[in-house]
Amino acid sequence: MENRLRFPPAVVDAVIAAKTARRRDDFIIGYRLSPEEPQENGITMTDTFALADTLKARALQYLHVSLWDFHKKARRGADSCRSRLDLIHERIGGACPLIGVGNLFTADDALNVLDTGWVEFVGMGKAVLINSDFATLIYQGREADIATEIDSSHADRCGCPRSKAGKMMGNRWMQVDGLM
């Protein structure tokens, strides 16, 4: 564990030193972490709490948790009745904003998870791949126009040709209308 925890802060400290040397107060620095791995010797919540403690002592502008499902509960090393994000949020105790992500496709999805109080910000991955104009649609009050699957007959919505959309999504990462 001690050795596992040496590299991340060394990288963060070097990046913060470079920012300070260049007097770039406007340059935000965050850290994205994977909270748990299923393998026997994989990362557990115990490791993640230790990493969070190390990171929260540094001047980061955000922590971002890499998850497939926003609501995923802890597997090992913490209360498995609680979500990973809830637990990490509690652990960092407001030291910096937390970003959550995972299978959120609509404006309501984003609002609902913000209501959990587990995160300060929400990230959207696949939703933005499907709707390259996702933020614009919300800004314009057109939430109803947000697509939740790639419409292969209107591939321009996701900014890539039909063949590429099919290849990119071929691993069942998301629904592709007419292709899956």
Ligand X SMILES: Cc1cc2nc3c(=O)[nH]c(=O)nc-3n(C[C@H](O)[C@H](O)[C@H](O)COP(=O)(O)O)c2cc1C
- Residue of closest CB approach to ligand X: 125
Binding to ligand X (CB under 6 A): which residues in 13-42?
34
Is the Cβ of residue 97 or residue 125 nearer to ligand X in the bound state? 125
Contact between 166 and ligand X per CB under 6 A:
no
| DSSP three-state, residue 32 | strand
The site for ligand X, by CB under 6 A, has a size of 13
Other Cβ atoms within 10 Å of 80 Cβ, number: 12
CB 35 within 8 A of CB 43: yes
Contact between 88 and ligand X per CB under 6 A:
no
- Six-digit token string for 136: 């614009």
Q: Which of 67, 98, 119, 150 binds ligand X (CB under 6 A)?
A: 67
Q: Interacting stretch for ligand X, rule CB under 6 A, among 1-9, 42-50, 66-74, 143-151?
A: 66-74
The set of residues, in sequence order, having a beta carbon less than 8 Å from that of 100 and lying 6+ positions away, is 65, 67, 70, 85, 113, 118, 119, 121, 122, 123
Q: Which of 50, 95, 103, 138 binds ligand X (CB under 6 A)?
A: 103
